[in-house]
Every structure is written in C-alpha cells, then in structure tokens.
Amino acid sequence: MRYFFLFVLLVSTHLIVAQQRAGEDTVYYRSAPIPRHLLPIERAGGTIYFYGGKRLSSPYSLEVPFYELNDPTVTHHFRTFRTLRTLSQLTSVATLAYLIFAPGRGRDGAYWIVYGSSIAASLTMSVIGNRQVNKAVTRYNELLLQTRIGLAAPIIPLTGQPAVGAGVAWSF
C-alpha cells in the first residue's frame, strides 16, 4: 500500500511538472509571431558571425536580433555569455591586483600561481561563454526555420468586401 501511494504521488507530480513545462516552453506555444525581417545568423568558425551577409565585429552584435526574437531560451543563453565574458575579463585582472597589493614579494612562486590561474580561469570562461552564444545562435536559427501559418482578411478597396486568404510558409 505504501509503494502504491508513492507510485501515485510520483506519477501525479510528473504529470503536473510536464504540464507546467509545456505551458512555459515556446516550442509548444508562442504568443507573438516571429518578426519577418529577422534573418538567419551564419557561423564561419569560432566566433565569426554573419548577419544579412555582413560580418559582425563581435558576438555582442547579435544582441539586437536576439532581443527582437524575444525567446526566453535565446535570451538566457546570450545573458549567460555576457556574464561569463565579463567574469573572464575580471579574472584577468587578478595578476595586476596581486602586484598592487603585494608589492614587496616580487615575482615569486605565488605570483606565477596567480598568473597561471587567472589565465586558465579566463580562457575557461571564454570558451564556456562562446558555447553559450553558439547555443543561442542555434536556437535562433531553429526558430526562424519553423513553419509559419497565416490567415488574412484584407478589405478590397473597389468592392469594400473582405477577401479571405490563408498561407503557409516554410524555410529550408
């Protein structure tokens, strides 16, 4: 009896969580349509990106199309990238801080440990940040490739009657 109660509790919890997740996830429902003017982002290895055929100066240039898409997953990945990039730059200042706050010690063993650790931490955070922006680009491009279904009823000026039309557009 105890195991049956535990089983029922686990199954009902799973169903409730799955239902909440389906309501929050944009794969199931998107309240706002994807803007038509957005173009796919192309990657040319590493951190080189092209938008609309033009090379972008840095991954920070992707902020505008990401926020225009208004997808929580893309926004989350891009914010994580910005945070990690900022932390990467701050950890590279650790060597300078060591030299300022420990002026009499010079370049002893502790200096090289701080120097090496700051380089390793900075590189690690940069690599993880670049992975996050690549995830954001992948999700962005996946959303742009989704099939778009539309229904229109414009008024014809000559007759004043509505003309109903339906359309489907998909990218490949």
pLDDT tens for 36-94 read 788 889 988 778 999 988 999 889 999 999 999 988 999 999 999 999 999 998 888 88
> Which residue has better confidence, 108 or 3?
108
pLDDT of residue 35: 78
pTM of the model: 0.67
Residues 6+ apart with CB under 8 A from 166: 149, 150, 151, 152
Q: What is the mean pLDDT of the chain?
A: 80
Cα distances (angstroms) measured from residue 144 to each of 38, 124, 141, 149, 153: 8, 31, 5, 13, 25
Do 81 and 129 meet the contact criterion of CB atoms below 8 Å apart?
A: yes
The DSSP symbol for 34 reads P
Nearest to 84 by CA among 42, 143, 126, 140: 126
Residue 6: HSE in the Cβ half-sphere, 13 Å Cα cutoff? 3
